[in-house]
Each structure stands twice: as structure tokens, then as C-alpha cells.
Structure 1
């Protein structure tokens, strides 16, 4: 479950990074001012960094949730092999 959540966080970050890149390209195409082009690039880099931080925060949260679910205590967390006879 944790890896699925991590994959979802990674995919979301990837989409945010792509969106930031496309917005930057659009802003760069609509202006001739080098300063505005540079500002668009800086905004893109900030958005990409924020997306990466959100992804890492989500992964750290998933790791903490995984560690706090009782794993490592001998508890059966898989839902299989409940100990009954079949």
C-alpha cells in the first residue's frame, strides 16, 4: 500500500512539474522582455522545487504511517493467515 501511495505522490509531482514547464514556455513565448523570460524560468524552478518537496513530504508521511500500523510487532497486518483452520 505504501508503494502505491508513493507512486501516486510521484505521479502528482510529475504532473505539477510538467504543468510548471508548460506555463513557463507559454510565458516565455508571449514576451520579448528578457527580464520577464528570466522571471518565468525562476517561477518554473520554484514550482518544480515545491512539487518535489511535497512529494518527499508525502513519502515521509507514508513511511511514518507504515511504521505506526503495527508492523514489526508480530501483528498480522496482511489480512491473510488469520490463524484459523480452514
Structure 2
């Protein structure tokens, strides 16, 4: 699925290509020399290629940003001290990273670091 940024990049490139085509038509209508008409067409093609190049560059950039965000903001990371943002992180450090609350693990079915994992009071309280 395309991201909103990719859709915006495609729309912008489409507008630039339409603008180049309209400009070429105007230049061809006013030009009397076949060489000027040919130059107008070449200029249009160059603008179209540049718009496509920028669109693809922006898509690559958006994909790189998304990949980077995935590394930093994944789901269900279990770490000690916690350095990643994401959802449902249980670690010994506590605090807030990546915009989500992170807990120490005690009372969540995960014993806090350095505790006896077999002691009563840990777990979900049932079977699953």
C-alpha cells in the first residue's frame, strides 16, 4: 500500500508533467520555426523526466524513513533498560520511549529484573 507521502509525490509529479505539456503546447503554437517547436518538445520531455526522477527519489526517501522508523518503533520488544520505541515494551528501566508508556514488568506476568521467577505473585493468575 502506498503511503500518503508517496501519493502526494505522485500527484506533484503529475502536476509538473501537465504543466510542462501545457507549456510545450503554448510554445509550439507561437513558434513558427520547426527548430523552436522541436526545442519546446525536448524541454517538455526533460521536465517530465526530472519530475519522474524527483518522484522516485522521494519514494526511496519515504521508504528509508519508514524502514528507519520500523527499527526504532517496532512492536512487542522485550529489553533490559529499553532503547527502542514501540508498543508493549516490558523492561527493567521503565519510563516513556517512543511516545508509549513502558513498564517495569512487575505485575504484568513478567518479573522485574533480579527477582525470583518462581515466587508466588508472578504470572497471569490463570492458565492459557
Identify the TM-score tier after normalising by the shorter chain.
0.7 to 0.9
1:45 is the counterpart of 2:63: no
The answer for the alignment partner of 1:18 in structure 2 is 18
* Counterpart Cα distance in 2 of 1:32 and 1:7: 39
* Counterpart Cα distance in 2 of 1:73 and 1:19: 41
Moved over 4 A (4+): none
TM-score by length of 2: 0.56
Q: Larger relative CO (CA 8 A, sep 6+): 1 or 2? A: 1
* Counterpart Cα distance in 2 of 1:37 and 1:8: 32
Q: Deviations over 1:11-53 (max 9, x none)?
A: 0000000000000000000011000000000000000000000
SS of 1:68's equivalent? helix
* Counterpart Cα distance in 1 of 2:62 and 2:74: 18
* Counterpart Cα distance in 1 of 2:17 and 2:55: 11
Structure 1 residue 73 displacement after superposition:
4.2
RMSD, aligned α-carbons: 2.4
* Number of equivalences: 80
The answer for the alignment partner of 1:79 in structure 2 is none
TM-score by length of 1: 0.82
